[in-house]
Amino acid sequence: MRNTRYIYCQIQGKGGAGKSFITYLFGLKFYRDESTLFIDADFNSKTSSTQNLRFILPKKDTRLSKKDRERVVFFNILDEKKNIERGKFMNMLTRFGSDIFTFERVFIDFGTLESDQFLELFIRHFKPGELHELEKDLNLKFIFQVVVAGNTNYLSCMSYLEKVQQIFGEHHDILIYPNLEKFSHADKQLEQVKDYAQRFQLPCKPFGDFGRDSETEIDVRLMMQQGKSLDEYSDMITQWLVEQEIQKL
């Protein structure tokens, strides 16, 4: 029997929280791992597939088609009404669980709209615990990585996190990722996030500790926008700081 395949979902219903940024950091961490696939499910921006993750190399196995060798792909999970269809989602799950699927780890970067519709899908079209049963049938494991921002985005982000906990908390792993760049001068909010994580026994992994508008933060943003790997960073200090961040993920 094959190993369990892990599906990591970067989600948050509030725009600008840092979903694409953390996907970039995971890209840096796993870009040499040819068993890892990145799916850009953000229809509005497509930044992960067209920009941020351009450095990720495709599989070298020439026996596979070009499409099957790609490790960063865009997938529009929405229908024409901007909803996520149960059938389309089920087709994606079936592909993840098939014998011809060659990846063992999948990261899905959901956009803001897709993040909201993802919860609506399970509220309206799935029974409680149904995804867990599908996981067992297909030998998959979903892990929900909720990015949280502070200041004016805090209440919206926490409201979304609470919904994720209500829908998936009984059967699935939920990881909280506070984006420290967005918690500038909001130490009390950050402590509240950590208290929430402790109350529900959820891992809490702050990231993005570069200092808001600092030279390092600006440099990392530029490297991300240019789709650069760590090997292409010109500043050794920035490279080292990013490596420290990656180890925290």
| Per-residue pLDDT reduced to its tens digit, 145-178 | 999 999 999 999 999 999 999 999 999 999 999 9
d(CA 130, CA 110): 21
Domain 5-248 CATH assignment equals 1.10.620.20: no
d(CA 212, CA 183): 9
d(CA 235, CA 222): 12
24: its two tokens:
């970039």
d(CA 168, CA 111): 19
Chain segment 66-98, per-residue pLDDT in tens: 665 689 999 999 988 999 989 999 999 999 999
What is the average pLDDT across 101-128? 95
pTM of the model: 0.94
117: its two tokens:
């519709």
- In the chain, the percentage of residues whose pLDDT exceeds 90 is 83
Chain segment 213-229, per-residue pLDDT in tens: 688 889 999 999 999 99
SS3 category, 110: strand
Chain segment 97-113, per-residue pLDDT in tens: 999 999 999 999 999 99
Domain ranges of the chain: 5-248
Chain segment 173-182, per-residue pLDDT in tens: 999 999 999 9
Q: What is the pLDDT of residue 61?
A: 64
Q: What is the pLDDT of residue 246?
A: 94
127: its two tokens:
């029974």
Band of residue 58 on the pLDDT scale cut at 50, 70, 90: confident
State the burial class of residue 142 (Cβ atoms within 10 Å of its Cβ: 0-12, 13-18, 19+): buried
Look-up: residue for tokens 């850009």?
40
What average pLDDT does the chain have? 92
pLDDT of 64 > 60? The answer is: no
Band of residue 60 on the pLDDT scale cut at 50, 70, 90: low
Q: What is the pLDDT of residue 62?
A: 60
pLDDT of 195 > 70? The answer is: yes
Rounded to 5°, angle at Cα 207 from 249 and 70: 55
pLDDT of 212 > 80? The answer is: no
Band of residue 65 on the pLDDT scale cut at 50, 70, 90: low
Using CA atoms, how far residue 117 sits from 128, 184, 217, in Å, is: 17, 29, 31
d(CA 86, CA 92): 10
